[in-house]
Amino acid sequence: MSLLVDNIGELVTNDPAYQDPPLGRLHDAAVVVEDRQVAWLGPAGDAPAADERLDAEGAAVLPGFVDSHSHIVFAGDRGSEFAARMAGEPYTGGGILTTVEATRAAGDDTLRATAVRLRAEALRQGTTTLEVKSGYGLSVADEARCLHLAFEVSPESTFLGAHVVPPEYAQRPDDYVALVCGEMLDAAEPYARWVDVFCERGAFDADQSRAVLAAGAAKGLGLRVHANQLSAGPGVQLAVELGAASADHCTHLTSADVDALAGSSTVATLLPGAEFSTRSPYPDARRLIEAGVTVALATDCNPGTSYTSSMPWCVAQAVREMRMTPAEAVWAATAGGARALRREDVGVLRTGARADLLVLDAPSYLHLAYRPGVPLVQQIIHNGVLT
């Protein structure tokens, strides 16, 4: 079955072959979808025949969002921690252990129900590719089952056994690092594409983080780093040194960090939901973009620091609070996320790309920032299927 999406007022392709970088827009366009892929795109009048037709009625169409950072395998609720922060309490990362306790106590069905619900919630808002981390189990058995559940909802699954040191290892953190690098990695690896580490004071230092990332790389996993979230530190430079796909957060950067990112293939993934929800200063997106760093936007969806699954909301936040242009923010939420996951088949619309398309209830991508909080994603084609 082929599907013609016709009468598109503004088509965002992210294809550098077109004028108008970075979004590569076409006007009065059409797209043909067949076998889960984009089979053709171009001027509406030139479209080949197809089995079915969807009339976009002059609206904007863009690639599905690529949310390259989430933690949706968890149990419990930390609404009261959020309320305390809004009343002035700082975020220290200590609340992670509250979620670890709840996650360990929860059955697989409970954890699965939450992950499936949040995956569906994200898709309804246009997220057609979602990365999902473990990191609230922190024992061999709990990390293995969290990874398994992550992999059930997404092939972009990430082992985050090095999230924090769990209480039973508080007096011997290096033994915990050895466990993460050994038995825990062995148990998680069959369900993981990536390994991640929270490189931060109070979590894992540079040597510990390097050990975890090297062990993951030796097993064939790609690398990601939670870097420079709460303070400047070694995370970003470690990510670049080891060729990580992404350094995530990048809230507190030195000039050397920016230079390192600019000369590398490591994407800086910015997570405005975390700054919003911890009442922190936002990362300096302009400084990164002007230095030539590739920037992605993601939700960081988790019960502690950013309980949103909404990429459109992150786009609006990035424009308002991080001074990204609407075009930069939409690119970062689609093509940028794809770069952060080292994927060439998503985040872009061109012949042969995966058919992930969003039809907006709006004439332009601009409305994603111009109309914050409004559910503008009207129709979703995910992997070639109209949902």
* In the complex, minimum distance from the CB of residue 184 to ligand NIG, in angstroms, rounded to a whole number: 17
Tokens 């619309």 belong to residue:
349
Residue 128 partner contact from ligand NIG, Fe ion, none using kind-dependent CB cut-offs of 5 to 8 Å: none
Residue 198 partner contact from ligand NIG, Fe ion, none using kind-dependent CB cut-offs of 5 to 8 Å: ligand NIG
Residue nearer to ligand NIG on the CB measure, 97 or 366: 97
User: Are the CB atoms for 289 and 324 separated by under 8 Å?
Assistant: yes
Residue 285 partner contact from Fe ion, ligand NIG, none using kind-dependent CB cut-offs of 5 to 8 Å: none
* In the complex, minimum distance from the CB of residue 8 to ligand NIG, in angstroms, rounded to a whole number: 36
Residue nearer to Fe ion on the CB measure, 135 or 234: 135
* In the complex, minimum distance from the CB of residue 202 to Fe ion, in angstroms, rounded to a whole number: 15
Q: From its phi and psi, is residue 262 left (phi > 0), alpha (psi between -120 and 50) or beta?
A: alpha
Residue 95 partner contact from Fe ion, ligand NIG, none using kind-dependent CB cut-offs of 5 to 8 Å: ligand NIG
Residue 63 partner contact from ligand NIG, Fe ion, none using kind-dependent CB cut-offs of 5 to 8 Å: none
Residue nearer to Fe ion on the CB measure, 24 or 95: 95
Q: From its phi and psi, is residue 23 left (phi > 0), alpha (psi between -120 and 50) or beta?
A: alpha
Q: How far apart are CA 288 and CA 249, in angstroms?
A: 12
According to DSSP, the β-strands at 25-34 and 37-43 are antiparallel
Q: How far apart are CA 252 and CA 101, in angstroms?
A: 29
> Residue with CB nearest Fe ion?
300
How many CA atoms are closer than 13 Å to the CA of 72, on its beta-carbon side?
A: 31
Residue 96 partner contact from ligand NIG, Fe ion, none using kind-dependent CB cut-offs of 5 to 8 Å: ligand NIG
Residue nearer to Fe ion on the CB measure, 13 or 277: 277
User: String of b and e for 288-304 (b: at least 16 CB within 10 Å)?
Assistant: bbeeebbbbbbbbbbbb
> Residue with CB nearest ligand NIG?
304
Question: Which tokens hold the place of 84?
Answer: 């305390």
Residue nearer to Fe ion on the CB measure, 6 or 300: 300
- Pure H helices in 49-107: 79-86, 96-105
Q: How far apart are CA 335 and CA 380, in angstroms?
A: 17
* In the complex, minimum distance from the CB of residue 318 to ligand NIG, in angstroms, rounded to a whole number: 16
Chain contacts with Fe ion (rule: CB under 5 A): 300
Chain contacts with ligand NIG (rule: CB under 6 A): 95-96, 99, 198, 226, 229, 274, 300, 302, 304-305
Instruction: Provide, for the chain, the percentages of residues in helix, strand and coil under a 3-state DSSP scheme, each rounded to the nearest 5.
Output: 40, 25, 40
377: which strand partners?
Answer: 360
* In the complex, minimum distance from the CB of residue 282 to Fe ion, in angstroms, rounded to a whole number: 16
* In the complex, minimum distance from the CB of residue 249 to ligand NIG, in angstroms, rounded to a whole number: 7
Residue nearer to ligand NIG on the CB measure, 114 or 305: 305
According to DSSP, the β-strands at 2-12 and 60-63 are parallel
Residue nearer to ligand NIG on the CB measure, 96 or 357: 96
Residue 237 partner contact from ligand NIG, Fe ion, none using kind-dependent CB cut-offs of 5 to 8 Å: none
Tokens 């419990």 belong to residue:
76
